[in-house]
Amino acid sequence: MESAQIADDLTNTLLTEGQIKDRLAQMARAIERDYDGQDVLLVGVLKGAVMVMADLARSLDRHVEMDWMAISSYGHGTTSSGVVRILKDLDTDISGRHVLVVEDIIDTGLTLSWLIANLRSRGPASVEICALLRKPDAVRMSVDVRYVGFDIPNEFVVGYGLDYGERYRNLRDVATLAPHVYT
Ligand code: PRP
C-alpha cells in the first residue's frame, strides 16, 4: 500500500513520533529513579507493545531484562471482553522479581486487570504497569497504572504498534482511523 493511501485512512495525527519519543524519555527517567538499585524485568504484551518496548528499553540508561507474553481476548473486534487466554507465556520465573508490564494502550482495562492478577499469583516482588496510552472514557475496570504516557480521547487510534485488522502497526505516529475504514 502506498503512503498516500494510508494517509486517506487516517483523520488526524494524535501524537507524532517526536512527541512519543520525548514522553518515553521522561518516563524512562522516572523508571530509573524508582527502580534505582533493583533488577527490573520488562514484560511486553504482544503484539501492540513491540514499539513501546523497543523505544522505552533503549531510553533506559541501565540494565533491564525483557520478556514477552501473548494473550488473546475473546470476542475480538474493536473492544475487548476481559476473557483472556495465554497464547505465549513468559520464559522467566518472576517469583521475587520486580516486574514492569509494558503496554501500548489501556482501553477498557479488562486485559490488564486480568494480566496483573495472573502475574501477582506468581509471587513477584512487585508488579507495576507502564502504558503509553490510556483512554479514561473507555475504562470499565480501573487499573492502577504507575507510568502513563498520554491520556487520549475515546477514539479508534492506530499506529506505533496499534492495529486495525493487523494493519497500521508500523506507522511512526499515533493517528485516528477514518470511519470509512471500519464501517
Ligand atoms: C490491545 C492492547 C491491550 C488491550 C487493551 O491488545 O495492546 O493489550 O488491547 O484493551 P483493554 O484495556 O480494553 O483490555 P489487542 O488485544 O488488540 O492485541 P494486540 O496487542 O496484538 O493488537
* Lowest-pLDDT range of 41-50, 59-68, 77-86, 131-140: 77-86
CB neighbours (10 Å) of residue 2?
Answer: 7
Quick check: is 8 catalytic?
no
- pTM, entire model: 0.94
Q: Would the pLDDT of 109 be above 90?
A: yes
Catalytic residue among 55, 104, 107, 173: 107
- In ligand 1, the atom with minimum distance to the C-alpha of 103 is 7
Residue nearest to atom 10 of ligand 1 (CA): 107
Q: Does ligand 1 come within 6 angstroms of the Cβ of 107? A: yes
List the 126-134 sheet strands across, edge first.
Answer: 84-88, 65-73, 40-46, 98-106, 126-134, 147-151
Q: Would the pLDDT of 161 be above 80?
A: yes
